[in-house]
Chains A and B, each alone.
Chain A
């Protein structure tokens, strides 16, 4: 099966500019996750979707970050405006369900550099 696909792989922008990341989960996976991984750290959950509904966005900085998952398939994560501290790898993952024992499959991530 095709894995989780993310684009772009790399993005360099100046601070205060907007940026968007795209994720295509594994076909049939209802649950989609966005994680942020800072340098030297483990990934931290930003938002989790069950189909098109965001069921956990408690860690998403809502003043500048937004996400959507139209039709419960692909998802987009946006930052506007970007800050220097947003430099990180943004990981998308999907699972068949949001329940325990449903393993997460991760994409290769988008490495964002804000200058």
Chain B
């Protein structure tokens, strides 16, 4: 079965400093992995996705993530945090093979950005 583990429930950074949100995955085959962001009282928005192409994936708003098979990790990074990045971030793995589009969400990491 596929699963993801988000290693930090809360991360706090200062504006202008780098962001690192950690995610490890478990999958019996090459996974499809995603990062979603959820701002307060808003719907989930796709940040980026990895589907076995380039291991370094660039997303919206300056975020990127690197797929590392040897470490079973898919950490989300951003060089410089902005106040508007404060939100909850979910690491997600697609469950099942073939045509299925069932997503398994991690428990989320709440990112706080201090001025």
A56 within 8 Å of B (CB atoms): yes
Please tell me which stretch of A11-19, A37-45, A60-68, A79-87 contacts chain B, meaning at least 4 of its Cβ atoms lie within 8 angstroms of it: A37-45
A43 in complex: contacting residue of B9, B46, B105, CB < 8 Å: B105
**Taking chain A's interface residues, is the majority helix, strand, or loop, or is none over half, making it mixed?**
loop
Chain A stretch 52-77: residues in CB contact (< 8 A) with chain B: 56
Contact with A along B26-43 (1 / 0, CB 8 A): 000000100000000111
B106 in complex: contacting residue of A42, A45, A101, A109, CB < 8 Å: A42
Contact with B along A82-115 (1 / 0, CB 8 A): 0000000001010101111111111111000000
B90 within 8 Å of A (CB atoms): yes
A3 within 8 Å of B (CB atoms): yes
Chain B stretch 33-60: residues in CB contact (< 8 A) with chain A: 41-46, 49, 51
Docked complex Cα distance between A102 and B94 (Å): 11
A-B contact count (CB 8 A): 59
Give the shortest distance, in Å, between B109 (CB) and chain A (any CB).
10
Q: Please report the total number of A residues contacting B with Cβ < 8 Å.
A: 27
Docked complex Cα distance between A37 and B112 (Å): 21
CB <8 Å contact, B107 and A91? no
Docked complex Cα distance between A56 and B43 (Å): 22
CB <8 Å contact, B45 and A45? no
Chain B interface residue count: which class? 20 to 34
CB <8 Å contact, B100 and A104? no
CB <8 Å contact, B101 and A31? yes
| A103 surroundings in chain B (CB, below 8 A) | 46, 49
CB <8 Å contact, B45 and A106? yes
| B106 surroundings in chain A (CB, below 8 A) | 42
Give the shortest distance, in Å, between A94 (CB) and chain B (any CB).
11
Residues of A within 8 A of B (CB): 3-4, 31, 40-45, 48, 56, 91, 93, 95, 97-109
Residues of B within 8 A of A (CB): 9, 32, 41-46, 49, 51, 90, 92, 94, 98-103, 105-108
Q: List 7 A-B contacts (CB under 8 A).
A: A42-B90, A42-B92, A42-B108, A48-B101, A100-B101, A105-B43, A106-B43
